[in-house]
Amino acid sequence: MLARSAVSLLRPASSAACRHAAPLSTSAPRCEIRKLARLRVVDNSQIGKEAMAEGRPPRVIHVYNKRAVATVGDKVLMAIRGQKRKGLLVGCVKTQHPMSMIPKFDTNNVVLIDDAGTPLGTRIHVPIPNVIRERLQRMSHKKSGDFTKILSLATRFV
């Protein structure tokens, strides 16, 4: 829907003939987090706050996943303020399978972490889904790092 409004702005406004030209065919939005998806940083890290304040949210440049689509609990690599940073997804807009009862959020929320899983911020001010606990525990190995440290930052679980 956003694409259509952008296209209509590009067309000349005056001529009636031009206005009713064939519109673009667009498919329904899937709200999946793939490469170049924009995310909302929800911790109080310095770089995250600056990026969100200046209106240039981080963009995903790699998803650490076989499927290349990130969901809750997945690690992503983002470009934020000219730097590459890793992040953990803590909330998705994508509608989940109804039987799973995983919460659906209004924004795609991400928490910035370093390579070992240590978060860059000190607090997460939005609710985190409970399902993330088990997913982070599965991800944490002695060699890869302890990703469950972000759970101690959360103020509210849903």
Partner 1 sequence: MLRRRTRIEIPEFYVGSVLAVTVSDPQAPGKTSRFVGICILREGHGLRATMTLRNAIDQQGVEICYPLYNPTLQKIEVLRLEKRLDEDLRYLRDCPLEYSTFAFDMEPEHAADSGEVPVNPVKVPLRPRPWTWRWERAGMKGLIVPELREDFYERAKKVSEPWHKYDLMREYRRSVPVEDQREIYAEVHEHVQSLETDQRRVRRRRVFVAPKKTS
CB of 92 to partner 1, least distance (A): 11
Contact 47, 85 (CB under 8 A): yes
Cβ atoms within 10 Å of 46's Cβ, excluding its own: 11
CB of 11 to partner 1, least distance (A): 10
Applying CB under 8 A, which residues contact partner 1? 1-2, 5, 8, 19, 23, 91, 95-96, 98-99, 101-107, 109, 125-127, 130-131, 133-134, 155-158
C-beta of 2 vs 36, nearer to partner 1 = 2
Q: What is the rounded end-to-end Cα distance, in angstroms, of the chain?
A: 30
CB 23 → partner 1: shortest distance, Å? 8
Pairwise CA distance, residues 22 & 17, whole Å: 11
CB atoms near residue 34 (< 10 Å): 13
In sequence order, what are the beta bridge partners of 113? 86, 119
Q: Which is closer to partner 1, CB of 79 or CB of 96?
A: 96
Tokens at 84, concatenated: 């590459």
Residue number, 3 or 68, with CB nearest to partner 1 = 3
Q: Closer CB to partner 1, residue 28 or residue 66?
A: 28
Cβ neighbours around 19 below 10 Å, total: 11
Minimum distance between the CB of residue 45 and partner 1, rounded to whole angstroms? 18
